[in-house]
Amino acid sequence: MKLSPQKLFAPAFVGTIMPIAIHAGGMNHHDHHLHDDSHMNMTDSFPSTMFMGKSTFVLGGVDGVTGKEAVTFNYDLKLMGMTSFTGEDMLMTAIRAGNFNMMAPFGMMGASRLDTAFNSSDNLEVHKLFYKFPVSDSFTVTLGPKLRQDDLLGVKPTSYPDGEGTLFVLNQTGANDTYSKKMGAGAGVTYSKDKFIASTVLLSENAASNKGILTKEGSDIITSQLGLVDDSYSIVFAYTYADGGNTDNSSDANDYSSYGIHGTYNFLNQKDMFPSSITAGFGWKNPDNDDNPDTASNSVEDGNTWTIGILWNDVIKEGNNLGFAIGTAETHRDDDGYDEPLAWETFYKMQINDSISITPAIFSVQKDGADDVTGAIVKTSFKF
């Protein structure tokens, strides 16, 4: 197959990801599962491997989805092995299983998709497999045959510094099209010096098929990210080009360019009832080919998204967190009669001990021209 020149020479592919991916909330908030290099400092002999996992139970139900309003009980299981060969690199192998029905309200294509939702029909699957290594004091490379877009980025997009959101749509820092969090094969490079972080990444959704990487037929996503990150604040800009494997220049919601900006401020001297952190983000989407004619029923057109997330730490009891987020329920467009649906969530995470937490949450997702979907869940997480 021939390579597509547009993709091969895309300007976004000339940038740069850092040794440790950082949550948007600041440098003190490392991802528990993937990016804390302290896990690699286990021994002076290499190779060395550390295993850890997370099991999540979700009990809950929704109102507003005809025929799907029963209370359900689902799970998500992640088993992770992190191997270092030098003490500075990391091979991540993640095995995952879950039983969230794809089309159920909480499922990955559901009306109120949860951030923890995963479906493997109870089978263990290789969920992620990638390798991260430094090439100098400032440059780190990440590559692998199976990973998610944000695994490659230097700053992880999340609406809360601890990464514990409820709805998937509210956990993309308001730039939902820029940070689509698609899965595939990919590679990225990050530059990190002092507070400055820059990343450029390529993700191919069809790398394992005959459509290949960087071809006209393949669906490829290129993202560049620039961030300034400190303990008390972060501000991050990002640009994404996605082609959706579109070969005929037809209108396609997955063939677009998008821009995003998000920032977090951490209140280090938190007062009573005052938030610990506030995160806000905005995104703009520009399809390569809009629907023509542009009618209210056609949705492939310029749009925007936003999210605001607020977190209170140590509420009622030390270690317990209260969170609230509100934002767009989908990419908003400028059409007569369009409802501009919003989504909101609130949760209270109770930390039972270092390994177990229980999180009740309520939420609502508005739908354009349809009933709102409201729901409640109790999420119990076990880290080991």
Six-digit token pair at 228? 């300034």
What CA–CA distance (Å, rounded) separates 365 from 112? 7
Q: Can you tell me the mean pLDDT for 202-223?
A: 93
Q: What is the per-residue pLDDT for 9?
A: 34
Q: Which helix (H) or strand (E) holds 7?
A: helix 5-8
Angle at 69 between CA 67 and CA 70, to 5 degrees: 110
What contacts 285, CB < 8 A, 6 or more positions away? 177, 256, 257, 258, 302, 303, 304, 305, 331
Q: What is the CA radius of gyration of the chain?
A: 20
Which residues face 326 on adjacent strands? 308, 344
In the block, tokens 């506030």 appear at: 278
Six-digit token pair at 41? 């400092």
- Report which of residues 324 and 250 the model is more confident about: 324
For residue 299, the 8-state DSSP code is: -
The answer to whether the CB of 48 falls within 8 A of the CB of 81 is no
For residue 11, the 8-state DSSP code is: G
In the block, tokens 């869940």 appear at: 377
The predicted model scores a pTM of: 0.86
- pLDDT for 26-49, tens place per residue? 543 334 334 444 344 555 688 999
Distance of CA 148 to the CA centre of its chain: 8
Q: Can you tell me the mean pLDDT for 13-17?
A: 30
Q: Quickly list DSSP for 259-282.
A: EEEEEEEE-SSPPTTS-SEEEEEE
C-alpha distances in angstroms, 220 versus 44, 189, 257, 330, 355? 40, 17, 12, 22, 38
Q: Is 164's pLDDT higher than 60? A: yes
Four-point Cα dihedral 264, 268, 269, 272, nearest 10:
60
Phi, psi at 11, each rounded to 5°: -60, -30
CB count within 10 Å of CB 137 equals 9
Q: Can you tell me the mean pLDDT for 265-280?
A: 86
Q: Quickly list DSSP for 24-61.
A: TT-TT-B-TTT--GGGGTT-SSSSEEEEEEEEEEEEEE
Q: Is 365's pLDDT higher than 60? A: yes
What CA–CA distance (Å, rounded) separates 78 from 97? 7
Q: Can you tell me the mean pLDDT for 185-209?
A: 96
Q: Is 294's pLDDT higher than 90? A: no
Confidence of residue 335 (pLDDT cuts 50, 70, 90): confident
- pLDDT for 95-140, tens place per residue? 999 999 999 999 999 999 999 999 999 999 999 999 999 999 999 9
Q: Can you tell me the mean pLDDT for 265-288?
A: 89
